[in-house]
A = this chain, B = another copy of it.
Amino acid sequence: MSKAYFVGLDVGGTTMKAAVVDSDGLAGPAVVSDTESYKGQDHGLATMCDTIRKAVEAANKKLADIAAIGVATPGTMDIKAGLILDPPNLKPWRDVPVRDHILNHFKIPTAFQNDANAAAFGEYWVGAGRTAKSMVLFTLGTGVGGGIIINDYVLEGEHSHGGEIGHLKIEMTNGRRCGCGRLGCLEAYASATAVVKRCVEALEKDSGHSVLRQLLNKKESELTSRAIFTAAEQGDTLAQTIVEDTAYYLAVGAINMMHTIDPDAIVFAGGMIAAGESFLNRIRYHICELAFPVPASKTEVRYALLGSDAGFIGAAACARQLWLKSK
C-alpha cells in the first residue's frame, strides 16, 4: 500500500506549528508562524491555512497528496462541533469555527482536537506510548495538562472536558489555590508555576542557607523550576524537599488515573522533564508506595519522547484516524 500523508497543525498562544506527517508517523519539515491572536480570529484562521499550505510545500507535496488535516488548539472548546469557544490563551477569539473553516478552505477532511489531547495521541502513536494499548499523559508546564487515550480512542469527554487531569482535586483541607480558581487541584501543586511558588513560600519560612535565596533576592524571574531542580541536583536541601514533594504530588495524580483508567502507560511531558531520570525515579517510587500492587508493578511510567512536536504529530494522528474511519 502506498503511503498516505496528513497535515498536523498545533495552534498555541504564541506560535503555531505544522508539518506533513506520513501514515507511519514520520514528519516532514515543521513550519512555524506567529499566532498573533490580538489581530483577531479572521487573521488567525488565515494564518492557520497559510501555515498548512507552507507545511505542504516544505514537504515537497501538493494539497492533492494530503488525505486529511488535523488541527489542535487550546481550549475552551467544543471538540465535536469543531469550535474554539472562549480561549484564555487566544484572546479576543470567541466561537471560532476552526474545523469547518479549514475544511471549506481546502476541501480536505479535517479533524479537530484539544491540544493536550492531541499531544497525548501523538505520544501514543509514535512516542512514549507507542507500545501501550492505553495511556495517560501529564504535561507539566505553566499548568498541568493532559490527555487520556484508550485503545486508539481519544477520551474527549461528552463536554470536551475529558483528560483535564490538572484539575483532579487531590487535597480537600486547606487546598492550594489553582489558576482555575478552585482549591486543591493537582495543577496547584505540580505545575512548573506551582513548584516555583512553593519554593518561594519555603524560602520565606526557612532561614537556612539555600542557593535559591540568592536567586530570589537577585532577580525573582531567575527562580525557575529548572533552577530549583538544578539546585536539588547540586545538594541544596530546600530544593530537594520541593522536588521530592513534586514527585509525590505527580504520583498522586498518576495513581488516581491508575485506579480509574488503569492504563498501560503513564507519560510525563513538558519542560519539567528536563529534570531527568532521577526525578522520574522519585515519581516511580511514590507511585509504588501509593498504588495497588498490580498496577504499581505493571504500569510503565515514562517521559515523553516527542517534545514540542507531540501536538502537530498528534493532530496528524487525529487526521489519520478520521481518514481510516472514512475508508
Contact = CB atoms under 8 A, between A and B. Distances in A.
Contacts of A168: 256, 259-260
Given A169-B255, A252-B172, A259-B164, A290 B182 contact: yes
A47 B121 CA distance: 46
A161 B292 contact: yes
Interface residues of A, number: 47
Interface stretch (A151-159, A224-232, A311-319): A151-159
A257 interface: yes
Contact of A173 (B157, B161, B173, B180): B173
Contacts of A172: 170-171, 248-249, 252
- Complex copy number for this chain: 2
A258 B161 CA distance: 7
A163 interface: yes
B169 A170 contact: yes
A252 to B, nearest CB: 5
Contacts of A262: 155-162, 164
A87 interface: no
A298 B158 contact: yes
A283 to B, nearest CB: 15
A115 interface: no
A273 interface: no
A104 interface: no
Given A169-B255, A259-B165, A294 B150 contact: no
Interface string A279-314: 000000000001010110011000000000000000
A261 B155 contact: yes
A167 interface: yes
Interface of A: 76, 133-134, 148, 150-151, 153, 155-165, 167-174, 180, 182, 248-249, 252, 255-264, 290, 292, 294-295, 298-299
21 contacts: A76-B294, A134-B158, A148-B260, A151-B153, A153-B153, A155-B260, A157-B261, A157-B295, A158-B298, A158-B299, A159-B299, A162-B262, A164-B259, A165-B260, A167-B259, A168-B260, A169-B170, A169-B290, A170-B172, A172-B252, A173-B173
